[in-house]
Amino acid sequence: MAKTSHAPSPDLDAIWSALAEHARDIGEQHMRDMFAADPGRFDRFSLSLGEILLDYSKNRITVRTMELLKDLAEQAGLKEWVARMFSGERINNTEGRAVLHTALRAPADAQVMVDGRNVIPDVHRVLNQMEDFCARVHDGRWTGHTGKVITDIVNIGIGGSDLGPHMVSTALRPYWKDGLNAHFVSNVDGTDINETLAKLDAQTTLFIIASKTFTTRETMTNAHTARQWFLDNSGNDHSKVCRHFVAVSTNASAVQAFGIDRENMFEFWDWVGGRYSLWSAIGLPIALIVGMDNFRQLLAGAHEMDVHFRGADFPENMPVILGLLGVWYRNFLGVSNHAILPYDHSLRLLPAYLQQADMESNGKGVTRDGRPVDYATGPIIWGQPGTNGQHAFFQLIHQGTELVPADFILPARTHHPISEHHEILSANCIAQTEALMRGKTEQEVREELAAAGLDKERIEALTPHKLFPGNKPTNTLLLRQLTPFNLGKLIALYEHKIFVESVIWNINAFDQWGVELGKQLADIIETELDSARDCTGHDSSTNGLVNYLKRQ
């Protein structure tokens, strides 16, 4: 079980201890009984914001639980931390940066100051640059070097420069512009870029190179491969590169050296973290494929969630509720993981996107001031779309020994009303949350088997295998429809939930030093793989692996 003996700050010891005691008090209570005792439980533990409904009634909570968690948020200074983030304070203390993904979706008349400068005019200058560029691609004023219109957009990035745009573009497939296709290359494995290029025509393809520094190794390796492929298919004329490559970066000299016109470089700022960057020029592939109007709707939806998060009282605050529930399970019920289960095929990349957003943010083992934590922080995030997951890993969730809280996400309306597909999908989604909550008792199993005509001996043998303990927690998020606006709200909801958890845990959610060491060692090993000499400078395992590879 996760440690709960010490709170992230000494000032929180009393409430932390009260929650630990409360967790013991309700440990034996079953949600089935909670619902039976309280017919108004759904109304009490559900919340709507526009076209999104959050039902969190199928959690191991009581009114007292939520009161204690609210007290925890207050004593952790959550309201003050929210204000500090929105105001542009440098709350990313290890990198000395503000955290202002929220400014990227703020209206043009807003004011957010960083170092005495209002950043909102710069944000909207880049948005207008994106809008002008998208319009030229869409109406045919921007063409390839032979005069043919662009038919394929290829985004080359990695991490936040890939996961966000890829997930959103996939989710908004019904809004794609006619005649345009989107492709995403991120893996430095040559298979990724090779399989993508094999489908393309150099005369009608536009590449977006997304790298803030224009030095990211994986991205630039893929970018140079794409450029060489283009040159090989366009008479090796370097002057034509500028008609087929644009950049999202801040390194103007490197962009120009690559062959991209400076006017086709879309900038963003150091207060835009990679995993929070899809709202910036990193979202250029989204804007190109669904249109700038829809991209602005995405921003507007996120901004509505920002306003809600910033202003709503904690008991009615959707991100706060989800974040506090995450802390409840992680720190007081000893849960190590959390599943994201979208019941919409268009959201199939959402679990992977949230893996980075959550685990890169809250996978920290030290506090903001560098002291080791003695309590659990970020959980493992995983998932898959329903109904596929039901035939893959739901067995473990229902009857395994690991407690897996899960978020079920379902649009009420589908973009593809084919036959009875959406009714079947919706029924499965709601039924799974009920089954996980209720379970099936021994009496119910025996009656069911008896009704099926089984003899007493067979009933005795099968009963233990067909028991469902239930009491498995879920949240259900119902969207009216998966639109750009509602998708923006959904993503922002999870962003803020992650921040809430980080405040309670007293960790910095906005740096990611954990990705650095492997990169540093990879540079050394890459050199050694190119050397004729045996590798001897590492441990025996690493030396053996490098030398084995060299021999192959």
Q: Which residues are catalytic?
A: 360, 391, 519
Say which amino acid occupies 289: I
Contact assessment for residue 115 and residue 97, using Cβ atoms and an 8 Å cutoff:
no
Peptide bond into 387 cis (omega under 30): yes
Q: What is the DSSP letter of 331?
A: I
Q: What is the DSSP letter of 147?
A: S
Bridge partner residues of 182 (DSSP): 153
In angstroms, the Cα distances linking 470 to 31, 75, 249, 251, 382 are 8, 33, 50, 54, 21
Q: Which residue reads 């405040």 in tokens? A: 503
CA distance 263 to 25: 63
Encode 278-308: b = buried (16+ Cβ within 10 Å), e = exposed.
Answer: bbbbbbbbbbbbbbbebbbbbbebbbbbbeb
Give 76's contacts (C-beta < 8 A, 6+ positions apart): 8, 9, 12, 503, 504, 506
The first and second tokens of residue 364, run together, are: 């920290």
Give backbone dihedrals phi and psi of 117, rounded to 5 degrees, phi first. Answer: -120, 135
Contact assessment for residue 127 and residue 303, using Cβ atoms and an 8 Å cutoff:
no
Contact assessment for residue 294 and residue 172, using Cβ atoms and an 8 Å cutoff:
yes
Contact assessment for residue 91 and residue 98, using Cβ atoms and an 8 Å cutoff:
yes
Q: E strands along 30-173, which residues?
A: 46-49, 52-55, 113-114, 117-118, 152-156
Say which amino acid occupies 161: S
3-state class (DSSP) for residue 248: strand
CA distance 372 to 370: 7
CA distance 57 to 434: 11
The first and second tokens of residue 289, run together, are: 């494929």
Q: Is 423 exposed, middle or buried (0-12, 13-18, 19+ CB in 10 A)?
A: exposed
The first and second tokens of residue 391, run together, are: 């035939």
Give 170's contacts (C-beta < 8 A, 6+ positions apart): 346, 348, 349
For residue 159, the tally of other CB atoms under 10 A from its CB is: 19
Give the β-pairing of 181-185 and 46-49. Answer: unpaired
Bridge partner residues of 247 (DSSP): 209, 265
CA distance 18 to 26: 12
